[in-house]
A and B are shown apart, each in its own frame.
Chain A
C-alpha cells in the first residue's frame, strides 16, 4: 500500500509575532518553527499503518515551503516515513494553491491512503486536505480520532460537536484529516534520527508545478487591538481591599 502524509511547518504559537512592513505577512526572523501539531498525529497514524502492513508498504512525507521546511520532513522521516518530497516554495499561498501544488506533485503516484492534519495551528483554514482529495477525486474524512485498516478498507471514527462520535467504513483510496486524540505521536529514537539523515528527499520547484492563481488574498494583518487589561493587587489583605474599592470607584463601577 502506498501511503502519503502531508505536513506543514508552522511557527510555535508562543513565538513573538511581528507583522512585516506592508502589513500582509509575519516577520520570520524571530520565529521558532515546528511541525504542525495535527500533522504529527497524521505522521504517527501513517507510521502505525505502515508498520502494521509491513513489507510492501511505502510511506512518503510531503511538505511545501522554503528551505527550513526540510527540518519538518526530517522529523517525519525520523518518526518512520520512508522518503520525502519537498516542494520548494517561498511565496505565500492560499489553501487552493497549496492543494494544487501537492496535487501536481503526487497525482501520478497512486497513493491509496493520504493523511493530513485537520488544520494548521497558524492559519487554521482546514481546507488543504479536502481540496487535495477533491483534486485527486478521492474520498475524504475529516476530524478523525480513531483509525483502523481492514483489508482494502478502513474503519474510522470522526469527532463531532458535543462529544458525539461517528463511525464510518470506506474503501481506499481515501484521505483522512487527523484530529487531537487520534494518537500520541512517538519521540524519534536516535538510530531512527540517524537513519533519517540518509533517506531520500526529492526536491521540486513550486514554479515547475504550474501553481494556479490564488483564490483569496490577505489584505492586511495586525495584532488585535488592546481591550481592557488585568491588574494585580499586592500587599496585605486590608490594603488590597482598599485598593480594590478605590479602583472600582474610579471606574464608577460602584
Chain B
C-alpha cells in the first residue's frame, strides 16, 4: 500500500467552509493590523529605496530566510534560525496540504502527498515541529528566566510565544491521536516516519478509538482557532517582525556604506535642516523603528553604552517609535536627550550587527545636524572652539595653516613636486600637526620612497577634510572645507590620493563625489599591501606580537580587514586577535568627531579598548588611524598600562621592518 494519509481525516470536508471563513477573518485582521502598524511611515520624508529590485529582493531573502545577520551571533542566532526554519517547514507543509486538498484534488483529481515523498514530508514536518518546540522553550527561558541578560519583556511578546507553544503541542496531539487510530496497529511502518507523533500515539494505547476520534475533532478545532488567532495577532506583537524585517531589509541602504546625504545648503525652500521633529526623519526611519525587535545587539556592541554614557542605540530607536505615535511634530531631542546624541562615535557597530537592518547612525547625525545648524549647539565649548579653528585655520588643532607642511621639511628628498607626482598624499590634520602622528606621515613617505612611488603633498593647499565637523552635525563647515580641498586637488590635476587617516579616506572616496570630486582614493594599508604584493616594497620580518585594532572607518565602513593583517604578517608580526575584532571591533572612542570632545561621562572608551589588547598578551596595540593612535596613547597612560603595552601605527611596524632590511642590502 502506498504511503499516504487521509487529509482532513475525522474532520470531513464539510468543516472546510468554517475553516475558510476563519482563515479569511484572520487574514483580514492581519492585513488591517499591519496597515495600522505602518501608518507612521506616512509621517516621514521621502527617500528612494525601491531601485534595483532584484538586488533588494535577494538581500531581503538573505536576511530573512537565510538569516545571515541573525546567525552572525552564533549561539543565540543559530537557535533563532532553527526556530524560524522549523516554522518555515511547517508552513510549507500546511501550504502543500492546502494545494492538494483544496485545489488540485477537487479540481483535477491530482494528489502528490503520497509514496516516498509523503514519507519525507511526514518525517520533515514531525521533526521541524519538535525543533520549533524546543527552540520556543529555549528562547522563552532566555528572555524570562535568564534575567541577567536583561532582555525587554512585555505581555504581548509572552502571549505570542505561549500561543505558538500551545499550537505546536496541540499539533502533536492531533497527529498522535490520528496515528493512534489509523496507523499504530494498521500501518506501523508508516507511523515510524512520524516519531514524535508516534510517541504521543503510544501514550493513548488502549483507549477506545471512538473516544480518541472525539478528542481528535475537538483538539483539531482548538488548534485551528489558535492558529487563526495567532495569525490575527501577529501585527500586534513582536512577531510583526516576520513581515517588517524582510521589508526593512528590502528597503536597506545599498551603499556605499555610511555615505551620508549631502544637504543642499543653498536650497531656499528648505526652512529647517537636520531632524528636530518626527516629520524631519524619513519613512525608512519610521520603518526602522517599527521593525526593531529590541534584541539589544546594538546596545551590547555600543562603545558609548558599554562605558556608561547616556546613549543606547536601541533606546533611541524605541523613543523614535514612541514619538511617532505622538504625531508629526513630536520633538526628538527633548525626548532622546542631546547628551545621548553627542555620545555617539558613529562607529557603526550598532548598525552593522543589527539583524533588523535598522540604520542608527544617520538618524543620530540628522539630529546633530539640527542641533548645530539650527540651534548653534555643540557637545561642549571645546567642540565649538575646534569648529572655530577649522573655520579659521582649516584644522581643529588651531595650528597655523602656513605650517601644514612643516613636518616634511627635514624629509623633502622623499617627496616630489606636485607636477611630477604619481600619487598625492592627503596628510590630514593629525599627521600634519600632531607630533605623535607626524611620525606616521614621515613613515608613509619613507615607505613610498622605498617602493619607488613618486609621492607629493598639497601642503598649504590642504585643509581638514571636514569629517569630524560633519559627523558632529556641522554640514556647512564640512562643505566649506570640502570645497577648498576639491578646488586644490582639481587645480593640481590630482588623479590619485593616498591617506593615512581612514576618516580622510572615507570622506574623500565616498562623500566628496557628491560635491564633484571623482578621483581614486586609497588608504595606505591597501596601497602598501599592493606594493608588497607587486614586489616593489620589500620588508624584512621582525618578530613582534601585535594586537591589531580594526579602526571603524577602515573596517566596518570600508570592509578592509585583510590588507593590514597581510602587511603585519609581511613585517613578521604575530597578530594576536582581540575578542572584538573585524566587524565587531570596539571603537577607540575618537570617531564621530568625538576626537574633538572631552569624554567626561562614565569610564573611558580608549582605556577599555587598550585593556582588551593587553588581555591578548601582545606588547603592541597597532591601528591604522591617527584618532585611534591618539586615543590609545592616552588610554595606556590613563589606564596605567605603561610598560605593559605600547600604541603604534601600522606604518611604524612596517618602517622597522624596512629599516632592518636596508643595511643588509648595502652589504
A residues in contact (CB < 8 Å) with B: 12, 14-16, 30-34, 186-191, 193-194
Given known A32-B392, A190-B273, A194-B268, contact A14–B374 (CB-CB < 8 A): no
Residue of A with least CB distance to B393: A32
- Contacts known (A16-B400, A194-B268); A189 close to B375, Cβ less than 8 A: yes
**Chain A residues closer than 8 Å to B221, beta-carbon distance:** none
**Residues B400 and A32 in contact, CB atoms below 8 Å apart:** yes
**Given A14-B399, A32-B393, A194-B266, 13 extra CB contacts under 8 A:** A14-B400, A16-B400, A30-B400, A30-B401, A31-B402, A32-B392, A32-B394, A32-B400, A187-B372, A187-B377, A190-B475, A191-B374, A194-B268
Q: Judging by beta carbons under 8 Å apart, are A193 and B393 in contact?
A: no
Whole-angstrom distance between the alpha carbons of A193 and B477 in the complex? 11
Question: Which residues of B are in contact with A by a Cβ distance under 8 Å?
Answer: 265-266, 268, 271, 273, 372-378, 384, 387-388, 392-394, 398-403, 460, 475-476
List residues of chain B with CB within 8 A of the CB of A193. Answer: 476
> Which one, B377, B393, B402, B476, contacts A190 given CB within 8 A?
B476
With most chain B CB atoms within 10 A of its CB, the pick from A14, A188, A194 is A14
Closest 9 interchain pairs by CB?
A30-B402, A187-B376, A190-B373, A34-B392, A16-B402, A16-B400, A15-B400, A32-B393, A14-B400
* Cβ-defined contact, B373 with A189, below 8 A: yes
Residue of B nearest to A197 (CB): B266
Among A12, A190, A191, which residue has its beta carbon within 8 angstroms of that of B392?
Answer: A12
Query: Within the assembled complex, what's the spacing in Å between the Cα atoms of A194 and B268?
Result: 9
| Interface pairs (23), CB distance under 8 Å | A14-B393, A14-B398, A14-B400, A15-B400, A15-B402, A16-B400, A16-B402, A16-B403, A30-B400, A30-B401, A30-B402, A31-B402, A32-B392, A32-B400, A34-B392, A186-B376, A187-B372, A187-B376, A187-B377, A187-B387, A190-B373, A191-B374, A193-B476
What B residues does A194 contact at CB under 8 A? Answer: 265-266, 268
Contacts of A189 in B (CB 8 A): 373-376
Given known pairs A12-B392, A32-B393, A33-B392, the reply for A191 and B271 (CB within 8 Å) is: yes
Q: Closest residue of chain A to B403, judged by CB?
A: A16
- CB neighbours of B393 from chain A (8 A): 12, 14, 32
Closest chain A residue to B272, Cβ basis: A191
Given A186-B376, A188-B376, A32–B476 Cβ distance below 8 Å? no
In the bound complex, what is the Cα–Cα distance between A48 and B401 (angstroms)?
A: 33
Q: How many whole Å from A244's CB to the nearest CB in chain B?
A: 21
Contact B384 A187, beta carbon cutoff 8 Å: yes
Taken together as a complex, chains A and B put the C-alpha atoms of A186 and B374 apart, in Å, by: 12
- Rounded to whole angstroms, the CA-CA distance of A32 and B475 in the bound complex is 22
Q: Enumerate chain B residues within 8 angstroms of A34, measured Cβ to Cβ.
A: 388, 392
Contacts of A32 in B (CB 8 A): 392-394, 400-402
Taking CB atoms, residues of chain A closer than 8 Å to B398 are 12, 14
What is the bound-complex CA distance between A85 and B137, given in angstroms?
77
A14 to B393, CA, bound (A): 9
Residue of B nearest to A186 (CB): B376
Contacts of A33 in B (CB 8 A): 392
Give Cα A191 to B369, complex, Å: 13
Smallest beta-carbon distance B459→chain A, Å: 12
User: Which A residue sits closest to B397, measured CB to CB?
Assistant: A14
Residue of A nearest to B399 (CB): A14
| CB nearest to B266 among chain A residues | A194
Can you name the residue of chain B whose Cβ is closest to the Cβ of A18? B402
Tell whether, in the assembled complex, residue B400 and residue A190 are in contact, meaning their CB atoms are under 8 Å apart.
Answer: no
Cα distance, A33 to B400, chains bound together (Å): 11
A196 to B474, CA, bound (A): 18
Chain B min CB distance to A12 (Å): 5
Question: How near does chain B come to A192, taking the closest CB pair, in angstroms?
Answer: 9
| Cα–Cα distance between A16 and B378 once the two chains are bound (Å) | 29
Take A15-B400, A16-B402, A32-B401 as given contacts and tell me if A190 and B265 are in contact as well, using a CB distance cutoff of 8 Å: yes
- Could you say which of B400, B475, B476 contacts A12, with CB atoms under 8 Å apart? B400
Report chain A residues within 8 Å CB of B394.
32
Residue on B nearest A187 in the bound complex, by CB:
B376
Q: Which residues of B contact A186 (CB under 8 A)?
A: 376
State the Cβ distance, B408 to closest chain A Cβ, in Å: 16
